[in-house]
A and B are shown apart, each in its own frame.
Chain A
């Protein structure tokens, strides 16, 4: 169930005669494997990130080019059943807590699987399992979703998508509006899911998140893919801030500074404090000890 984009273009408004089409997305070529990928889509506001992910689960259809999802080819005029695609590719929108509506948390988590044709027992089982995966206490399952806190509601919404057991999971700015603890929990959850073999795609502005968790980065600029590369390669690129208004992670900036200052052979591409510490010890360890 990989996703493949071939010269995809997209615009929202049907152009009138003689009107020049303003493409929201143009010339998108992209290949996403069905497992083990952890992709971050970054870019300026309005660069087409959200549109891109909506194309990935057939909420929108391409206006030009074609998208292949699994064995289904989507073009401008395709009329295939969308449900199987959406079952395999789960999309969690920004502020997913607004999509809750059932009387109890459990029922709300079951809503997705039930729509995708799971039986009541299966859906129930999946819901309980996924509520544990996202870290919801069992006592919450019978509560009304509107009585939960914001972070808990987001967990419920994510569990609702996970419960239909998609192969690829897409998150539109999952960490916005969460406190640091909830953010860490959520990102470790995504990492765990990724370790279990699922492909995770996140839209984010947070380069710390990108540097800590992601493997591959897609940089969008004015509706086109500007860079599609690994994390290391991206951070080796000069002038990210000026060109794409992206920031380097703090750790990387710090290591770079140290490297320049002391002119030592330091591997600056370390993405968590522990690795960085070990690298620093490797280079400076002896002299610092004395």
Chain B
């Protein structure tokens, strides 16, 4: 279980982007995100997206890794597209149609869905394909009016009927939104895939150092973050052990009722808290024994140093953002 979890999902490959200073990566990705937000022109976004894709390909990370990060926002993307296209009423009308479902087909769809929910445990692998097939089947039936009887039966009335009008403005809006979301997701996974979590915290710590002047000690927070990250696998390991120990005492999350499940979750949570506290105490003592004093000035074993490539990347990014801002401000291409 613990080994499937990808933390920080760092992917090791040797590329120029991996070799950049974490601060450079953080800053440039921040700048890139800001420019993506500022842009509203479809063609500009498309160009930026193409640039991002080139950047991604240059890191030699398999493209599937990036596509996988899309899974979390897939639903959001889908709904955004549908809503933008269907509900937008600006610009020229391109196409008009009607979305209809009559009673009989709704009935058939419901029956199919019930059969699906009863059988989905038998073929768990093909669950989503099965569901997709059912939905597609329903729409295809409606489109070709397979069950279009001539007599007037109450079920053949259209239960759902909604006019669909597609306007060009809606399409371009949908396009910009998709490009924006894709760019943001790809860019953020570009950061996490090419930077180790420890480097990332180092970078954040170094970037936020000026906050010390107003009394916030960033290094303590950075230490807390790195400890938290470090202990996630350990705690998952412990959780597995406790889970097995309780399973030997008859805890079974699959075979029990809801009321039993609550005590069973408690039987996992309390030992976990106890272990976490104990570990935290042990760690604090071990750190003190090795001379850790909070708030004191300390040097890092891997001192961050900016190289020529870092300066180049940052200046290119700053130029890019200022270019976007200039275009927006002068209104040359702004739509």
Contacts and interface: CB of A to CB of B under 8 A. Distances in A.
A45 B140 CA distance: 61
Contacts of A43: none
B251 interface: yes
Contacts of A13: 3
A93 B270 contact: no
Contacts of B270: 101
B248 A98 contact: no
B6 to A, nearest CB: 14
Q: Is the interface of B mostly helix, strand, loop or mixed?
A: helix
Q: Which of the four size classes fits the interface of chain B?
A: 20 to 34
Given A54-B244, A98-B242, A112 B249 contact: yes
A111 interface: yes
Contact of A161 (B249, B255, B274): B249
Contacts of B275: 98
B242 A160 contact: no
Contacts of A83: 250, 252, 255
Given A13-B3, A93-B241, A99 B271 contact: yes
A146 interface: yes
Contacts of B241: 93, 98
Interface in B237-266: 238, 241-242, 244-252, 255, 260, 266
B58 interface: no
B90 interface: no
A101 B267 contact: yes
A100 B273 CA distance: 12
Q: Which of the four size classes fits the interface of chain A?
A: 20 to 34
A283 interface: no
Nearest to B3: A13
B3 A164 contact: no
B242 A99 contact: yes
Given A83-B252, A98-B275, A146-B274, A59 B247 contact: yes
Interface string A37-49: 0000000000000
A116 B246 CA distance: 12
B248 A161 contact: yes
Contact of A93 (B248, B252, B269, B274): B248
A81 B255 contact: yes
B252 A99 contact: no
5 contacts: A82-B247, A98-B238, A99-B271, A101-B269, A111-B250
Interface of A: 13, 54, 57, 59, 81-83, 86-87, 90-93, 96, 98-101, 111-116, 146, 160-161, 164
